[in-house]
Amino acid sequence: MKDIFFDLSVRSVKLNFLRSLLASIGIVIGVVAISSMGMLGTNMQLSVKQQLSANVNTIMISSDVVRTTSTAGVTAAAAQGIDKSTLNDIKTSVGQNDVIPIHRGNTQFTIGSTDGRGSMYGMDPNDITKFLTIDQGSNIKGANDALVGPTIASNFNMGIGSRIKIGQNCATIVRPTVRVAGILTTRGFAPDGVNSDNAIIVPDTWYTDHYGGKDVYDQVNVIVQDISKINETEAAIDKKVNQHTQTVRIQDASSRLSSISSTLGTITTFILAIGSISLVVAAVSIFNVMMMSVNERVQEIGILLSIGTEKGEVRRMFLYEAFILGVIGAGVGGLGSLVIGYSVVSAMIGNTTYFFMPESILYVPYGMIIGIVVCLVSGLYPAWKASNMDPIDALRAE
Amino acid sequence: MVEIKVEEALTGLSMSEFPLIRLADVTKVYHLESGDFKALDHVSLDINDNEFVAIMGPSGSGKSTIMNQLGILDIPTSGELYIEGKNVSNMTNLERTHIRRDTVGYIFQKFYLIPLLSAYENVEYPLILKYKKRDTTGKAAAVLKSVGFDEELSAHRPNQLSGGQQQRVAIARALVNDPKIMLCDEPTGNLDRKTGFQIMDILVGLHNEGKTVILVTHDPKIAEYAHRIIELEDGRIVAS
Ligand SMILES: Nc1ncnc2c1ncn2[C@@H]1O[C@H](COP(=O)(O)OP(=O)(O)O)[C@@H](O)[C@H]1O
Ligand SMILES: [Mg+2]
What is the DSSP code (8-state) at residue B127? H
CA distance B78 to B29: 9
Shortest-distance atom of ligand 1 to CA B232: 21
Shortest-distance atom of ligand 1 to CA B67: 17
Domain locations in chain B as residue ranges: 49-75+99-239
* Residues belonging to chain A with any Cβ–Cβ distance to chain B shorter than 8 Å: 1-2, 4, 7-8, 11-12, 15, 299-300, 302-311, 313, 391-392, 395
Q: What is the pLDDT of residue B57?
A: 94
Whether the predicted pLDDT of B8 surpasses 60: no
Residue numbers in A near B68 (CB within 8 A): 392
- Pick the range with the lowest mean pLDDT from A40-49, A135-144, B170-179, B218-227: A40-49
Cross-chain residue pair A8–B114, CB shorter than 8 Å: yes
Partner-chain residue, chosen from A303, A310, A311, that has the shortest CB–CB distance to B114: A303
Q: What is the pLDDT of residues A141-167, one digit of tens each?
A: 999 999 999 999 999 999 999 999 998
- Whole-model pTM: value is 0.73
Sign of the torsion angle spanned by Cα atoms A349, A355, A360, A365: positive
CA B86 to chain centre: 17
Whether the predicted pLDDT of B148 surpasses 80: yes
Confidence band for B122, pLDDT divided at 50, 70 and 90: very high
Residue A155: closest CA among A109, A104, A195: A109
Give the helix, strand, coil percentages of chain B, each rounded to 5.
Answer: 40, 25, 35
Superfamily covering domain B49-75+99-239: P-loop containing nucleotide triphosphate hydrolases (3.40.50.300)
Question: Amino acid identity of A143?
Answer: A
Shortest-distance atom of ligand 1 to CA B63: 21
Residue numbers in A near B102 (CB within 8 A): 308
CA distance A178 to A142: 10
Dist. CA A183 → ligand 1 center (Å) = 96
* Chain A residue at shortest CA distance from B128: A4
Shortest-distance atom of ligand 1 to CA B32: 4
Partner-chain residue, chosen from A12, A299, A309, that has the shortest CB–CB distance to B129: A309
Half-sphere exposure of residue B83: CA atoms within 13 angstroms, side-chain side: 21
* Chain B residue at shortest CA distance from A3: B133
Cross-chain residue pair B102–A313, CB shorter than 8 Å: no
Q: Which residue has the higher pLDDT, B124 or A77?
A: B124
**Ligand nearest to the backbone CA of B110:** 2
To 10 degrees, the CA torsion angle through A280, A281, A286, A291? Answer: 100
Distances (CA, A) of A205 to A81, A213, A214: 16, 10, 8
How many residues comprise chain B? Answer: 240
Q: Kindly report the protein residue whose alpha carbon is nearest to atom 8 of ligand 1.
A: B65
Cross-chain residue pair B100–A308, CB shorter than 8 Å: yes
Residue numbers in B near A8 (CB within 8 A): 114, 116-117
Sign of the torsion angle spanned by Cα atoms B2, B4, B8, B11: positive
**From the CA of B8, how many Å to the nearest CA of chain A?**
32
Residue B143: closest CA among B160, B120, B112, B166: B120
Cross-chain residue pair B125–A306, CB shorter than 8 Å: no
Residue numbers in B near A307 (CB within 8 A): 100-101, 106, 125-126, 129, 173-174
From first CA to last CA, the distance across chain B in angstroms is 27
Cross-chain residue pair A310–B128, CB shorter than 8 Å: no
Residue numbers in B near A11 (CB within 8 A): 116-117
Whether the predicted pLDDT of B2 surpasses 50: no
A231-253 exposure pattern, b = at least 16 Cβ within 10 A, e = fewer: eebbebbbebbbeeeebbebbbb
Cross-chain residue pair B116–A300, CB shorter than 8 Å: yes
Q: What is the pLDDT of residues A49-68, one digit of tens each?
A: 777 666 678 888 888 754 44
Please choose from B56, B64, B73 the residue to mutate so as to test ligand 1's pocket, defined by most ligand atoms within 8 A of CB.
B64
**Ligand nearest to the backbone CA of B65:** 1
Sign of the torsion angle spanned by Cα atoms B104, B109, B112, B118: positive
- Segments in chain A below pLDDT 70: 1-2, 52-55, 65-79, 256
CB-based contacts of A96, cutoff 8 Å, min separation 6: A225
Q: What is the pLDDT of residues B151-164, one digit of tens each?
A: 999 999 999 999 99
**From the CA of A395, how many Å to the nearest CA of chain B?**
8
Shortest-distance atom of ligand 1 to CA B40: 14
Please answer whether residues B29 and B35 qualify as being in contact, where contact means their C-beta atoms are separated by less than 8 angstroms. Answer: no
Please answer whether residues A381 and A288 qualify as being in contact, where contact means their C-beta atoms are separated by less than 8 angstroms. Answer: no
Q: What DSSP line would sit under A142-166, residue for residue? A: STTEEEE-HHHHHHTT--TT-EEEE
* Chain B residue at shortest CA distance from A394: B73
How are beta strands B104-107 and B181-185 bridged, if at all?
A: parallel
Residues in contact with ligand 1 (CB, 6 Å cut-off): A 392-393; B 30, 32, 37, 39, 57, 59-65
* Chain A residue at shortest CA distance from B129: A309
**Ligand nearest to the backbone CA of B57:** 1
Question: Amino acid identity of B118?
Answer: S
Phi-psi sector, A215: left (phi>0), alpha (psi -120 to 50), beta: left
CA distance A171 to A265: 51
Q: What is the pLDDT of residue A54?
A: 67
* Chain A residue at shortest CA distance from B110: A395
Tell me what the mean pLDDT of segment B218-233 comes to. Answer: 93
* Chain B residue at shortest CA distance from A305: B97
Confidence band for B207, pLDDT divided at 50, 70 and 90: very high
- B153, burial (CB in 10 Å: exposed 0-12, middle 13-18, buried 19+): middle
Residue numbers in A near B112 (CB within 8 A): 299, 302-303, 306, 395
- A327, burial (CB in 10 Å: exposed 0-12, middle 13-18, buried 19+): middle
Find the DSSP H helices in chain A.
4-15, 17-53, 84-93, 125-131, 150-155, 204-211, 230-241, 253-296, 298-306, 311-348, 358-361, 363-387, 391-396
CA distance B74 to B66: 9
Cross-chain residue pair B114–A300, CB shorter than 8 Å: yes
Mean pLDDT of chain B: 91
CA distance B55 to B41: 16
Name, of A48-57, B11-20, B48-57, the range with top average pLDDT: B48-57
Q: What is the pLDDT of residue A81?
A: 83
Q: What is the pLDDT of residue A181?
A: 94
Residue numbers in B near A305 (CB within 8 A): 97
The packing angle between helices A84-93 and A230-241, to 10°, is: 140
